[in-house]
Amino acid sequence: MAEKFVSQRNLKFLLYEVFDTPALTQYPYYADHSRESFDMALETAMKIGKTLMKPKLSEMDKNPPEFVNGRVKVHPLVRTLMKECGEGGWIAAPFPFDLGGQQLPLMISGVCRFIFSAANYSASVYPFLTTGAAHLILAFGSKEAIETYVQRMFSGEWQGTMALTEPQAGSSLADLTTTAEPTDQGYYYNIRGQKIFISAGDHDGVDNVIHLMLARIKGAPAGVKGISLVVPKNRIESGKIVPNDVNTAGIYHKLGYRGAPITQLSMGENNDCRGYLVGEPHRGLIYMLQMMNEARIDVGLGAAAIASAAYYASLEYARERPQGRRLTSKDPTQPQIPIVQHADIRRMLLFQRAVIEGSLALILQCAWYADLSRALSGEEKEKNELLLDLLTPVAKSYPSEMGIPSTSAGLQILGGYGYCDEFPLEQYYRDARIHPIHEGTTGIQGITLLGRNVTMKNGQAFKLFHAEVQAAIKKAEEVPELKPYAQELQEALEKLTKVTLHLTGMAKSKGPEVFLADSTLYLEFFGIVSVAWQWLLQALSIQQALSRNPSGAEADFYQGKFYTFRYFFRYELPKIEGLAKRLRDADGLTVEMKDSFFAD
């Protein structure tokens, strides 16, 4: 198994040369940090990834969680990792000092999550699901809820989850049937219902599991006016821990991502499941959107991380595997060459790297907006929040969708060995497939982007995005080596703008179904342009570095980055032409297609 799973050099390039993360320390919230403390966090994350998580990657896949006597048993690493992440402050890293956090920028905590996810994705979800659940309680919960749950979650003693999906509802949250009935006690609700596909919903790697759950107040009208609840597996009653009538009905047996259990939960079988209100009644979905949007960016991050691990495994193999000779060599007595010297192998490696490093840059751009929105106020805060909101479905979906062919390319490089479990590529390929489904399918992200985000506030978010891309283009036009690429991105941005205007006009003339029928294709188009923007930003830093005439490994790093940038513009960006053509067509083909036409 390949030792390398991420490039520390590329992480530092993005953090310090493209984004200037240390500049965040000018703001009071981050003022206690420095480049040195950021580097220390990265080094520690790498150590945990290499020594604790990566060695158990295959073992956790081949020995998945078991459902025994109503309880889920997981790999012993989980308890060790939760303790390590609690004691090391990883679960609480972004939160304020007075709550036990480190006030670490999301730029840094995100890169550390990327390292953990690349080392062992299944293991990484346990602590960071807990981070999201704790954040929801901190943002909207009562003082009592914060005091009861958050510190134990931060310590890694208690797991946090997001419990939304139900058998009959799936992503259609308006159709939830789990009920919350007010009681004469006032401070809690009686909960009845079922939840499915709950990641880490029950396991013996922690002492308790705290579900952030969406339910409907009994008797409430149909629709999305549910409530957010804290529903612990075990509750505290008169200072004692007692069962809370949350029962695990079973676990799902999955294609990949096998090291973390996905559970089915049943609440209130004995009419004694208590849920505690978070915030105000009927605003639960609004609260949950905070956790969902954070999770969506984390899903994109995890997808890019798995693709990163697959890339370095396939790169190592390509450098070591001799096969064939150059097409110009006719002498069969000459030694075979490593397959990395074949152009088609290099094409696949470039494709992998272009997807991974472009995706990670886009995710860090979102983290940058999130960090600034936390540090700033007024119009600047709103600007960064709008940009983050706009790009969230893109940052979730582009890495998730493109991580699959990227990982597949790595498997292809290994040939027959890639299909066998003696090598890790087949596991990475299985693990990667969950991400277009997790936290809202790609179709839902497309509807969100086109149906809501680009039109919200009279298109203000899209205008801000346009200005951000335009600013990068303007800078690149001043660099001779980048001017042709800047012009190509300018043309792509104009195409995206025209298609967006065309589609929003179609909403008025053809109605919402035709308008949103191809929103997934629009999302793909938007994603390609967004990643091209990120590659152009990277190219500006690459050219600045090359102007200093680096040598040795540094020169190779920047030249390799520049070739990967060129690859994206020459091979990936042209794909928007077909997408633009399709999106300009208003024939409504998929809307008009009838069920009966899908013949047996």
- The domain spans of the chain are 8-154, 158-281, 442-590
- The average pLDDT across 75-94 equals 97
Model pLDDT for residues 584-596, shown as the tens digit of each residue: 998 889 999 999 9
Model confidence band, residue 89 (pLDDT cutoffs 50, 70, 90): very high
158-281 classified as CATH 2.40.110.20:
yes
- The average pLDDT across 253-281 equals 95
Model pLDDT for residues 202-217, shown as the tens digit of each residue: 999 999 999 999 998 8
- The average pLDDT across 225-242 equals 88
The answer to whether residue 175 scores a pLDDT higher than 90 is no
Model confidence band, residue 239 (pLDDT cutoffs 50, 70, 90): confident
Q: What is the rounded distance in angstroms from the CA atom of residue 21 to the CA atom of residue 15?
A: 5
Q: Angle at which helices 106-119 and 284-320 pack, to 10 degrees?
A: 50
Model pLDDT for residues 3-61, shown as the tens digit of each residue: 899 999 999 999 999 999 999 999 999 999 999 999 999 999 999 999 999 999 999 99
Radius of gyration for the alpha carbons in the chain, expressed in angstroms and rounded: 25
Give the CATH superfamily of 8-154.
Acyl-CoA dehydrogenase/oxidase, N-terminal domain (1.10.540.10)
Q: Is the separation of the CB atoms in 304 and 403 below 8 Å? A: yes
Model confidence band, residue 427 (pLDDT cutoffs 50, 70, 90): very high
Q: Which of 21-25, 274-278, 357-361 has the lowest mean pLDDT?
A: 274-278
Q: Which SS3 state, helix, strand or coil, does residue 226 take?
A: coil
% of the chain surpassing 90 pLDDT: 86
Say if strands 262-267 and 246-251 run parallel, antiparallel, or are unpaired: antiparallel
pLDDT given for residue 50 in this prediction:
97
pLDDT given for residue 224 in this prediction:
66
The answer to whether residue 489 scores a pLDDT higher than 70 is yes
- The average pLDDT across 536-543 equals 98
Higher pLDDT, 90 or 511: 90
Q: Which of 137-146, 259-268, 347-356 has the lowest mean pLDDT?
A: 137-146
% of the chain surpassing 70 pLDDT: 98
Q: What is the rounded distance in angstroms from the CA atom of residue 123 to the CA atom of residue 121?
A: 5
- The average pLDDT across 511-517 equals 92
Beta carbons within 10 angstroms of residue 258's beta carbon: 19
pTM over 0.85: yes
The answer to whether residue 407 scores a pLDDT higher than 90 is yes
- 421 CB-near residues (< 8 Å, 6+ apart): 58, 62, 427
Output phi, psi for 246, to 5 deg.
Answer: -110, 110
The answer to whether residue 161 scores a pLDDT higher than 60 is yes
Please choose, from the candidates 150, 160, 101, 152, the residue with its C-alpha nearest in 3D space to the C-alpha of residue 125. Answer: 160
Q: Which of 120-124, 252-256, 587-591 has the lowest mean pLDDT?
A: 587-591
pLDDT given for residue 1 in this prediction:
54
pLDDT given for residue 344 in this prediction:
97
Burial of 586 (0-12, 13-18, 19+ CB in 10 A): middle
Q: Which SS3 state, helix, strand or coil, does residue 381 take?
A: helix
Model confidence band, residue 80 (pLDDT cutoffs 50, 70, 90): very high
Q: Which residues are catalytic?
A: 439
Q: The tokens of 592 are what?
A: 């008009």
